[in-house]
Structure 1
Amino acid sequence: MLNQILNILSDGQFHSGEELGERLGVSRAAVWKHLKKLDDLEIPYSSVKGKGYRLQDAIELLHEDQIRTALSQRLDILDLLLDVDSTNTYLFKRAGDHMGKRYAVLAEKQVAGRGRRGRQWVSPFGKNIYLSLLASFSGGISSLEGLSLMTAIAVERALVRLGIEGAGLKWPNDVYAGGKKLAGILLEVTGEYSSHCQVVIGIGLNLSLSEEDARDIEQPWAELRSLKPDLSRNEVAGILLDELLQAVDSFQKEGFAPWQQYWSERDIFHHKEVRIIGGHHERLGVVKGVNRKGELLLQTERGMETINAGEISVRPAG
């Protein structure tokens, strides 16, 4: 019933308890009981005597039929959740029961969203895209080199389809707009090193964030609706999922190598000097693209060095 209430309130207008009860076929007391669950989800709403209830902001809830309309690739299972600890965690726990399946999950809210290097991914209700996809690979963990970069390319290609130009890629798997982070990616692997394995590919994409929502974000951030205000959240979710499925198809057939040049042309640090920070070590160099494995090529005073993805950070040298 909470889903039904949210669908009614999603227009951002006032609706009385009597109206809600009539539309749902329940008592006003039952409506009030479910409205209290909005507090648990940290969804801001107002209650005004004589007017009723309204959400602080109009929201567009996710709808499976609208999302599937955008898909051109096979998807076996799609779950839409009101809230979850993390979409990646949700799928990772279910991976063993779905070998060979393409299983996607989208959530309205994450209470423990995760980014790279153990960071929190800020995930307010009904505003952004929190997407994870479970996919199986036959070549083992060693065959996954470059998949994180391929995922970032999928995000960038989705943005182009949505009419947003100029998004940039940051190694190993971030998407930027105007020098600010727009999307992040987290891959988690389970299975055998040299045979069948499964990957949970997680994407967090900022669609609409307020300053209050973003108070815990520790770096400059961007949002899609500042770039294109009239975007449909379901359209964004559908196109993003479709591009991700296409990227998985391409990667399974050819790996990352055919996309080396594509990546380099969109790398925000290509031909620029950067600092590579990892653990207690730091090095300076000029970014010269990536190799067929998706490793960063860095021209340093010692010559050309190859940087593997891991717990490292790439930052401007200046």
Structure 2
Amino acid sequence: MVTGDFRFKRYKLPPEAFAIGPKKEPEPSDLVDEKTWRDLVWLTDDVSLRTSEHHGTLLRKANQLTGHWIEMVLDIQSLIQNPRDDALALACLDVYDDLQASIYTMLTGFYRQSIATLRMALEETLAGAYFRAYPNSTKVQQWADGLREGQLWVREIRKKLSKIEPYSFFETGEYKLCGKDGWVDFLYGRLSGFSHGRPFYTDEEGNRVPTSNVGLWGGSNGPVYEPRAVKLWSAFFFDTALLCLVLVGLAEKRLLDLERPTSISFKEFLERAIFWHLDIAPPHPVAREIVRFLGLL
């Protein structure tokens, strides 16, 4: 333990710290007992302390990425008359929540959930891009309302996007974006392995990857800090974020030339996302083509 470590203090934020909240903090009405609190919080607190002792730089970069993402959402909204009716604006807002949740669940040791959450981020971004390519206000509303008629399937989205510009530009070479075995297909398949109730995912080369928390914890039956799981999460997190970001850029080209962005330009955001990705692993080969198309290279 480091004397004076800021992480060892808890604070309850005042109402004015929130954009939407009560004017006066209500008094506790049903306080949790100490044992229940200990059972729920102590192990995850321990993991978060150990994780943040060894991965401060990783956490800072991931947190910065989510900050830039919500700023980009504001930029998208500024380009649209009614953001609540636009699938891309709605999807990107939800992606922000998913990225935040992914970081926090990783910080507290729930590695499977932290990776599985990323699948939702990719699904939402694909839906937003799809409705920009195939606009249909009725379908968008059905999708947003969660109606069966508005349900989308990633496989069908991939197929349809791969046939139209600008997505079709990246389907002719060795490496593809939306086509079979392309970047979207590859990453979505890997993320899906953490969303289904099985202890392992076996890839095409026969490699078994643990997809349950027990496996990711190295056999423990409770949240524990596991550096290998953090490394696995980081690869998925930055790859998902980069893929979602280029999909947004392809779907909303006006972001590329926005004169007054909320904070940094879309191109600068993309540049940082690539740099952070390179710290973990090289991006998918087709990413370079897309980045060049978007005017960064």
Q: TM-score, normalised by structure 1?
A: 0.29
Indicate the structure whose relative CO is greater, using CA pairs within 8 Å and at least 6 residues apart. Answer: 2
More helix by share: 2
